[in-house]
Amino acid sequence: MKFGLKLAGALAGAVLALASAVNAEEWKPSGTLKLQIGFGAGGSTDTIGRVIAKVMKDQTGWNIIAENKTGGGGVAMFTGISKMPPRGTVIGLGVNMPIMVNLVKRGDQLPFDLNSFDYLGTASRAQLALIARADAPFNTLAEMVEHSKENDGLAIGFGAPPQKLLMEVVNREADAGFRFVSTKGEAETQKLLLGGQVMAGFSSGTHIKYLESGDFKMIAVANDARHDYSPETPTVRESGYGAYVDPYYFFATTAGTDPAALAALTQALDNAINSDEVAKVIQNAAVSNPLNLGPEGTKKMMFDGVENVKVLFGE
């Protein structure tokens, strides 16, 4: 009996999968498909989003336009998407960290939660590193903490809240006395590093050229895994602090979207992300590789990520 049920279930599953595969072939957006980008023109998210939209358009023949919806690192865009009727005609491209930070910090003020969306996949994971000038008198996070304690604090440049939160964990656990200098992004952080105004800072890829030129060195990796271009640098977690920052570029649409539409959108995105053109742009603009976790993987990443952000806040 049990076997019979299982068989029936498997059969039903197969039929459903087949049906949705067929539907995925047939479904296409009614009218224009909008790819909304949660950041302004000119950044890495914008560049990746615009090229994915172009490749998807070429591959599917759908009419796709990319548009920027700025505000709160994607919060404004996802607020809009969460309130739309689920027609499958608008997808959002955002970065997970600002969404999670806002959900943890002021979730009661937001009109959405993690269940307000159907997740479609990820484009890539940014490789975030803690760097210092090559002539800095420390090489590891432990030495940096020591140096800070001996010198009445040490200035760190950060371009986004999670970076500061990560170092505040170190401040809490080791009483390091780091001071934080807010910048408008990693380019400005690097300027302050080169000018000697800050001793360390965060960067997600554009520092690699400076590693080659011998201006910067790696202190620690902010992600949960080491970076392929610098496998000898340990993560902050490996250095003894229980937190990490894993920024993903992810796609989502309104919860309750027709499964056929979801299947078609997921497939179309996956095809685009795996194209050579997009791979090249991700390597060039985000100094990382394409990485699509798929719908289920993306959802898991978002839910697990919120728990990690609570650790960052010391909750």
Partner 1 sequence: MVDLATILAGFADAFTLWNLLFVLFGVVVGQFVGAVPGIGPVMAMAIAIPFTFGLDPLPAIAFLVGVNKGGLVGGAVPAVLMNTPGTPDAAATAMDGYPLARDGKPLKATKMALFSSVTGDTFSDLVLITVSAPLAVLALRMGPVEVFALMIFAFAVLSGLIGNSLIKGVIAAALGLLCAMIGSDPENYTPRLLFGYWELFDGLPLASVAIGMLAISEILRRLSQIQGEMKGAIEVRDTGDPNDRRVTWAEYWACRFTMLRGAVIGTILGALPGIGSTAAAFMSYATAKSTSKEPETFGKGNLHGIAAAESANSAVVGSNLIPLLTLGIPGSVGAALIISAFMIHGIQPGPLLFQDQGRLIYGLFGAMIMANILNLWVGQAGLRFWVKVVSAPESIIFASALLLCIVGVSMATGGIFGVAVMLIFAGLGYLMTSYGYSVVIFIISFFLGPRFEVSLSQSLALMNGDWTQIVNYPIALILFVLAAVTTAWFLSRRTPEDPGASVSIED
Binding site for partner 1 (CB under 8 A): 36, 40-44, 46-47, 50-51, 53-54, 66-73, 75-76, 79, 101, 106, 109-110, 152-153, 155, 161, 179-184, 187-188, 190-192, 194-198, 206, 208-210, 212-213, 215, 277, 280-281, 283-285
**C-beta of residue 236 within 8 angstroms of C-beta of residue 308:** no
**C-beta of residue 77 within 8 angstroms of C-beta of residue 92:** yes
Report in angstroms how near the CB of residue 111 gets to partner 1 at its nearest: 8
Report in angstroms how near the CB of residue 57 gets to partner 1 at its nearest: 10
List Cα–Cα distances, 251 to 16, 56, 196, 248, in angstroms: 24, 14, 38, 10
Report in angstroms how near the CB of residue 179 gets to partner 1 at its nearest: 5
Report in angstroms how near the CB of residue 253 gets to partner 1 at its nearest: 17
List Cα–Cα distances, 122 to 77, 211, 252, 274, 275, in angstroms: 17, 28, 9, 11, 14
Q: Which of residues 154 and 262 has its CB atom nearest to partner 1 in the complex?
A: 154
Amino acid found at 90: V
Q: Which of residues 77 and 260 has its CB atom nearest to partner 1 in the complex?
A: 77
List Cα–Cα distances, 7 to 1, 3, 16, 89, in angstroms: 10, 6, 14, 36
Report in angstroms how near the CB of residue 104 gets to partner 1 at its nearest: 13
Report in angstroms how near the CB of residue 134 gets to partner 1 at its nearest: 12
Tabulate helix, strand, coil % of the chain (nearest 5). Answer: 50, 20, 30
Q: Which of residues 76 and 306 has its CB atom nearest to partner 1 in the complex?
A: 76
Q: Which of residues 154 and 220 has its CB atom nearest to partner 1 in the complex?
A: 154
Cα 146 from chain centre: 31
Q: Which of residues 78 and 138 has its CB atom nearest to partner 1 in the complex?
A: 78
Q: In what order do the strands lie in the sheet with 200-203?
A: 178-182, 154-158, 200-203, 129-133, 216-221
Q: Which of residues 50 and 125 has its CB atom nearest to partner 1 in the complex?
A: 50
